[in-house]
Structure formats: C-alpha cells, structure tokens
Structure 1
Amino acid sequence: MPKIEIYTQPGCPYCVRAVALLDHKKASFTEINAPHGTQERVDARERSGGRTTVPQIFVDGRAIGGCDDLFALERSGKLDALLQAA
C-alpha cells in the first residue's frame, strides 16, 4: 500500500469531498490538519511546489494535487492503480 497524506483544513468542503473519496476507496491515509497560519500549511505549500489551497494530496511523497485533481484521476480510471501501485 502506498503512503497517502492529505493536508486539510476544518470546514473545507473540498477537503471533505477528497477525504470521502479516499474513504470510499478504502485507502489508508494520514490526514494532516493544516489551517492557515500553521506550520503544517507551510509544509503543504512547500511540498506541493507552491500551491496554497487545501486539500493537498501526496502519494508516496509525490504531489498529485487537490480535490479536483483527485476526482479527475477517478474519472479517468487512473486513481485505483495509483492507490495500489504507488
């Protein structure tokens, strides 16, 4: 199983959707609380190459983007392979 990390913020509807999709896929992941002004948010921005929004999702250390990117992978049929083969 790949190591999946998702940086989120309370009250973020995109974060809720991304977490729900990962839950639906029965993916094991670590959710990192990263509200504005926290070191975790700085870490997410640095790891993602400068993206400032949440969620930020990483699979085995590789940034795959946010909620829209996660759902695009799902629509294209590539998410399952990524979650299993990373």
Structure 2
Amino acid sequence: MVSAAYRRVNGGHDLAESNIVIYTHPTCEICVTVKMELDEQGKAYEEIDLAEFPERWSEVEELADGDRITPVTVENGEVTIGYHGIGCMFYD
C-alpha cells in the first residue's frame, strides 16, 4: 500500500511538495524500512529509484563522499546515509 504522502520523482528535481528526498534501490531492504518509518511519522517524501534513474547515482556519490550506497535521505538540507549506520552498498 502506498501512503498518500508518498510521491515518486519523475527523474527531475521536483521538490515542490516535499522537503524530504530519499534515494533508494529496489534491492535494498533498508530502503523499505526508511520509507515505512517516514510513512508511520506521516512525513511526505519524494523517492528517487536509482534502478529507474541510474543517471542520479552521481547525486548519491556526491552526497555520500563517493560511495554508491542506499538509502540516502536529504531532509531540510541534512543528509543521512543509510539507516542507523547500516546501508546497502553498490559496486560498478
């Protein structure tokens, strides 16, 4: 079930309805946990699915000091890498 607060990014940089952006990958179970927590808190967020928009990996690498890791959450300009110190690493 998709929360009403959830909105997928269309590949652009549309943040008009949310000040939370989460970079995710469908194989990362930790991403699911972060999204569930945001839903439970009633927070609106925009999801950037990196499998669907692989050109956006460069943004993750910039935010995560060169790492390809998910989830990466940006809330009001504050960047959180992973979830409680755990993330899914991706390699070329």
Which structure has more relative contact order (CA 8 Å, sep 6+)? It is 1
CA RMSD of aligned residues (A): 2.4
The corresponding residue for 2:43 is 27
One-letter amino acid of the structure 2 residue matched with residue 66 of structure 1: G
Greater shift, 59-68 or 7-16, is seen at 59-68
Paired residue total = 69
Greater fraction helix: 1
State the TM-score, normalizing by the size of structure 1. Answer: 0.67
What is the CA-CA distance between 1:62 and the residue it aligns to?
2.0
- Find runs of 4+ consecutive structure 1 residues off by over 3 angstroms: none
Give unmatched runs, 5+ long, in structure 2: 1-17, 86-92
Aligned residues with identical type, % of pairs: 25
SS in 1 for 2:62: helix
Residues 31-86 of structure 1, C-alpha deviation per residue, up to 9 Å, x if partnerless?
A: 11113x811122111123323210001112221222225xxxxxxxxxxxxxxxxx
Give unmatched runs, 5+ long, in structure 1: 70-86
Aligned equivalents of 2:63, 2:80: Cα separation in 1: 11
State the TM-score, normalizing by the size of structure 2. Answer: 0.63
Greater fraction strand: 2
Q: Contact conserved, 2:69 with 2:81, CA < 8 A, in 1?
A: no
Q: Contact conserved, 2:23 with 2:60, CA < 8 A, in 1?
A: yes
In the alignment, does 2:73 pair up with 1:57? yes
